[in-house]
Amino acid sequence: MSIIDPRTGNPLTAEPAPNTHTPTDSERPTVTREEVIIELNAGNIQQVLEASMQVPVLLDCWAPWCEPCKNLMPVLEKLAVEYGGAFLLATLDVEANPEIAGQLGVRSVPDVKLVSQGGLVDSFQGALPEKEVREWLNRYFPAPGDAPPSPEEQAEEALSAGDAAGAREIYQTLIGQYPEHYAYQIGLAKALVAEGRGDEARSVLDNLPPEERDAAPARGVRASIEFSEQALSTEEIAALGDRTDSEAQYQRALRQVADGQYDAGLEALLALMKQDRAYNDDAARKTLLQVFDALGADHPLTVTYRRKLFALLY
């Protein structure tokens, strides 16, 4: 499909020949910002709507006084270029163009609308983080194969690689941009726990709204803080030597969990349940449930070991 520039009426890309293969990412022509982004106004709105008959148009309705709009616009501009002309991005200043905003039914900003064939396909309101914008776009457009990792993915990768300080810095930046996206604050708390700053992590969680503070993700981080605080130090674990009593087994398992060695820790806790269910008022089972909370209900280890726990109990 040829992409038409609504400013000139000229095609931005050539019409593909019939019966040709879909180009790969390396074969797709690169586009510049100027080719895929246009400022919408009364003078070109008709051309933009006509252009949507050839290529989808993403309308970003914003206002100069809107801070969330200022956070969202660079994300949309980046993605418009990254998606290589799969859609045009048209930005509309609703204050400068109130009549157009009224015709489009804009009641609050930011308001993003996907228009194709002259009609509304979908929309979202509010400044979604980059990861969520990508997920929304991917409902309608193939994701670029060479897309760089989103900030959220970079933070997760840093945390997995043991770079807790790097993850913390990314989450702090994201929180500054999206203060009401509470998943970032929970991510920050995770990074703080990994840095050994449990008190600061607990403070972050305590400042969440009640419905977020009591939900599974936040409970999981609290459980991680408790594991770190309860577990013996590496030196103390070494001092246990060859002890095989229930207390020694439990402390080794707790240290493994605190260090993120969940598979080994869960297996050790399950073994302790089989051997000494009564140990410390059923501590092994209770800790298993805490680990499930920390990992989340959908985590593969939670699914596997919850099934094993059920088989052991019943």
Answer with the one of 115, 137, 159 that is the final residue of a domain: 137
| Domain housing 272 | 231-313
Residue 115 domain flag: yes
Answer with the one of 137, 171, 194 that is the final residue of a domain: 137
Three-state secondary structure call for residue 58: strand
Tell me the pLDDT tens digit for each residue of 179-225: 888 999 999 999 999 898 999 999 999 999 999 998 888 988 998 89
The pLDDT, as a whole number, for residue 224 is 86
Q: Please state the three-class secondary structure of 14-35 as a single string.
A: CCCCCCCCCCCCCCCCCCCHHH
Mean pLDDT of the chain: 87
248, two tokens: 């020694």
Tell me the pLDDT tens digit for each residue of 47-59: 998 999 999 999 9
Residue 111 domain flag: yes
Q: What is the mean pLDDT of residues 146-154?
A: 84
Tell me the pLDDT tens digit for each residue of 1-32: 333 444 444 443 334 333 334 344 444 457 88
Residue 292 domain flag: yes
CATH code of the domain containing 128: 3.40.30.10
Residue 276 domain flag: yes
Three-state secondary structure call for residue 54: coil
The pLDDT, as a whole number, for residue 29 is 55
Answer with the one of 210, 229, 248 that is the final residue of a domain: 229
Confidence category of residue 123, pLDDT binned at 50, 70, 90:
very high
Known catalytic residues are 66, 69
Residue 109 domain flag: yes
83: Cβ–Cβ under 8 A, 6 or more apart, which residues?
137, 141, 144
How many H-runs (helices) and E-runs (strands) does the chain carry?
A: 16, 5
Tell me the pLDDT tens digit for each residue of 60-97: 999 999 989 988 999 999 899 999 899 999 999 999 99
In sequence order, what DSSP letters do the residues of 76-106 get, joined into one string? HHHHHHHTTTSSEEEEEETTT-HHHHHHHT-
E strand residue ranges, the chain: 37-39, 57-62, 88-93, 111-116, 119-125
Same domain for 85 and 46: yes
